Amino acid sequence: MNEGMALLTASSETSEALALIIDGKSLTYAIEDDVKDLFLELAIGCASVICCRSSPKQKALVTRLVKSKTGKTTLAIGDGANDVGMLQEADIGVGISGVEGMQAVMSSDIAIAQFRFLERLLLVHGHWCYRRISSMICYFFYKNIAFGFTLFFYEAYASFSGQPAYNDWFLSLYNVFFTSLPVIALGVFDQDVSARFCLKFPLLYQEGVQNVLFSWTRILGWAFNGLSSSVIIFFFLHLCNGESSLSQRWRSCWLGDPWCHHVYMRCVGR
């Protein structure tokens, strides 16, 4: 292990890539508690790592070691019963249906018929799904922050009297009906580029690896957008209804008018 670390240090100075090949017998000692951190450091520094003649338990332990120590998302691919533990231990398990039975497929998250389909699964569907899920979650934050702060501003103008800002039916159907279609469309049909371009430019996959679309900067940007939208919507409706719209003990629930609902839905569901 120490010799491998020395070779790794020497290769970093010459910009040479190293590959690590370890068999099952050596792997038994490499994943012991006293040396597994050193083994992981050596494995991460290499360009490729091959664990050959390893048992199903060793496959699962190596996957658990990488997942727990690095904090990265792990993906395992298997086609037989000896890969079940590895598939279940990884964050994403891809099972290949073949001559070795269906145990791997039944224990995996995603099943494919042939190994060559893995390229399209990752580069095309992986890129699309990451973009769709990230945008959908950020949009959920946006529309609910915009909705919640209009209620807060109204109650502040109403001296926190408890006067309802919206009709009960609008509150009940806001997430269920009024804003559900944009979320469904975004989560099902959104495609920034075609499948052909995803395969032609594999670097697009780095968008998900680097977590570009679901970083704290992007989440806070959507949250600020929701806050600014709520300010614009509330004060626009307040000015349209006149300065006395919230006076006289707020008997007129002006945010509950249908045209106010229409203005709000046009802004949030754009």
Residue in the block written with tokens 């017998």 = 25
- Contacts of residue 125, defined as CB under 8 A and 6 or more positions apart, other chains included, come to none
* Count of beta carbons in the 10 Å neighbourhood of residue 264: 25
Residue whose C-alpha is closest to residue 198's, from 129, 113, 109 = 129
Instruction: Answer for the pair 142, 222: CB distance below 8 angstroms, yes or no.
Output: yes
Which two tokens mark 156?
Answer: 């502040």
- Chain mean position to CA 204: 16
Q: Is residue 223's pLDDT more than 80?
A: yes
Dump pLDDT digits (tens) for 118-170. Answer: 999 999 999 999 999 999 999 999 999 998 898 888 888 777 877 777 777 77
At residue 95, φ and ψ (nearest 5 deg) are: -100, 140
Please give the model's pTM, rounded to 2 decimal places.
0.78
CA-based radius of gyration for the chain: 27
Per-domain boundaries in the chain: 1-54, 120-268
